[in-house]
Chain A
């Protein structure tokens, strides 16, 4: 009776009730994502961004265009030679923005991976062992959560000094509680299910249980949180750079471009407008993709 939705090869149409095969579930998620126009737009933006980051050197040579100061050329408006104009040191703004993409993405991804890993370990320990371990870990997370993110980051960077590594540490710490929560709740939602007990009764090793049952459950929320966390990180890094506590000059980070350009803002707004647009686009793309993923994973949540 419900065979109407399955064609001859047995592959289900998008709304087939075939929940057992994991592969078709992935296809289902991808299908739903692709139907969401905004999400696809976000993905395109991210692709452009990633391409800029990867091919930055090809598009515009780092040393000559982004870093080297050329006072003769300073504060040029947008032209054929300098698409977005030049800043007060004669550096090509377009080149700086492209290289800024690389910096933002690298720092952002690095931060997310770090906090994801550390957060997952803590969350896994808390979720799996429960009881006292869970309590202690969650309390510690609460303490970290009670400190506003920026404050924490500023304190760490201010105290430890600037530089990429310290910035990475500072940014990661704010995101760790979030990821540990995600993993912990994934584990908790699965841990007490009857089929886990059944699996254990058959002698299945814990590691296999985690691999087969917990991970698939957790991957969805992790990815969604990762994209959103990346968006936040990029915003935070630019904010930190703006107040001078982030990426050091002369590296072309978008936030520091904004703080540098401020003085010239009145007569050369391009110094300030374009880097800001770059940040906004990156974050927008990530937000759209994150939202799209969330809707694709669980359409019931969509309104």
Chain B
């Protein structure tokens, strides 16, 4: 049995609006193993949500399009699947939690009904009482009193709404959970609670997770592996140790870590990364970080760097490809 649950190969996604063509995802490769949590970090606009939506095939109709690439989920070719196939696996094999709990729930339907819905869609043989029982179970699992299942979303606070969303997402015990900044819109204290629930359930059900966030702290606490995304490309990927403790990094990652204020240090100003992300309507020939990279070289503007592997650690940067090449040359020379 294959350990790889999700495999994304060379994914290119565009958005077509009246005014422009936006290149949202440009050649993303990533894998998620069974039971593991992959953190996907990057600034707003890097293409993280688009990647997740592509896995669910929920890109906005007629606007978003998977131009190229393949996505395999548990053996199934997502990119070639029919809509009927996708409906069968959405909510069932793969689920998604979205960023803003305030608007993710239908305001005119009771909360219990919204949880029951996903159960009924994928388990039409269940009797009404069985569905009810399962809804109660799920409510308790996420820490909500089951009596409240007859209430409406507006009667719940943000954190509680997000728990309902989690209950819906995990109701059918999916193999993969896509969590798009699940706690960004919540208070810090609630954040911790919600993440704890997600962690718990994940372990109980052995679910894999793609955790999208821009918060490196959350990544450190919850993820097994991390992928750093910039302007539609994965520029660095590795285990949490690789990313947090190794000394070699993509300059963007260095910038990200550098922007975090350090409690132990005494500084006058924060050090953000200079500049802004490149215009997504323009396809970059070279490395997308060229404009802002403090270590850029001429070749970075004209040629895309290759993905350089050092064990479990991947860095997509010309700085390291030379080292690699040099190291290889040395090795060859030795023989």
Direct contact of A and B (CB under 8 A): yes
Q: Which residues of A contact B (CB under 8 A)?
A: 1-2, 4, 15
Asked whether, in the complex, the Cβ of A4 is within 8 Å of the Cβ of B19, the reply is no
Asked whether, in the complex, the Cβ of A1 is within 8 Å of the Cβ of B19, the reply is no
Asked whether, in the complex, the Cβ of A15 is within 8 Å of the Cβ of B291, the reply is no
| Residues 260-286 of chain B, each 1 if its beta carbon lies under 8 Å from chain A, else 0 | 000000000000000110110010000
Main secondary structure of the interface of B (DSSP, over half): loop
Asked whether, in the complex, the Cβ of A2 is within 8 Å of the Cβ of B20, the reply is no
A-B contact pairs, 11 of them (CB 8 A): A1-B275, A1-B276, A1-B278, A1-B279, A1-B291, A2-B276, A2-B279, A4-B279, A4-B282, A15-B19, A15-B20
Residues of B within 8 Å of A2, CB to CB, are: 276, 279
A1→B282 CA distance, assembly (Å)? 12
Expressed in whole angstroms, the minimum distance between the Cβ of B230 and any Cβ of chain A is 15
Give the number of residue pairs across the A-B interface with Cβ within 8 Å: 11
Interface size bracket, B side: under 10
Expressed in whole angstroms, the minimum distance between the Cβ of A198 and any Cβ of chain B is 27
Residues of B within 8 Å of A1, CB to CB, are: 275-276, 278-279, 291
A1→B291 CA distance, assembly (Å)? 8
Expressed in whole angstroms, the minimum distance between the Cβ of A100 and any Cβ of chain B is 39
Known interface pairs A4-B279, A4-B282; 9 further A-B residue pairs with C-beta atoms within 8 A, sorted by A's residue number:
A1-B275, A1-B276, A1-B278, A1-B279, A1-B291, A2-B276, A2-B279, A15-B19, A15-B20
A4→B291 CA distance, assembly (Å)? 14
Closest residue of A by beta carbon distance from B282: A4
Q: Please report which residues of chain B, range 1-50, place their CB below 8 angstroms from some CB of chain A when the two chains form the complex.
A: 19-20
A229→B30 CA distance, assembly (Å)? 58
Q: Please report which residues of chain B, range 60-114, place their CB below 8 angstroms from some CB of chain A when the two chains form the complex.
A: none
Expressed in whole angstroms, the minimum distance between the Cβ of A2 and any Cβ of chain B is 7
In this complex, the member of A1, A2, A4, A15 whose beta carbon has the largest number of chain B beta carbons within 10 angstroms is A1
Q: Please report which residues of chain B, range 280-304, place their CB below 8 angstroms from some CB of chain A when the two chains form the complex.
A: 282, 291
Expressed in whole angstroms, the minimum distance between the Cβ of B62 and any Cβ of chain A is 13
Residues of A within 8 Å of B278, CB to CB, are: 1
Residues of B within 8 Å of A15, CB to CB, are: 19-20
Expressed in whole angstroms, the minimum distance between the Cβ of B47 and any Cβ of chain A is 18
Expressed in whole angstroms, the minimum distance between the Cβ of A36 and any Cβ of chain B is 11
Expressed in whole angstroms, the minimum distance between the Cβ of B206 and any Cβ of chain A is 43
Closest residue of A by beta carbon distance from B275: A1
A237→B278 CA distance, assembly (Å)? 57
Expressed in whole angstroms, the minimum distance between the Cβ of B17 and any Cβ of chain A is 10
Closest residue of A by beta carbon distance from B276: A1
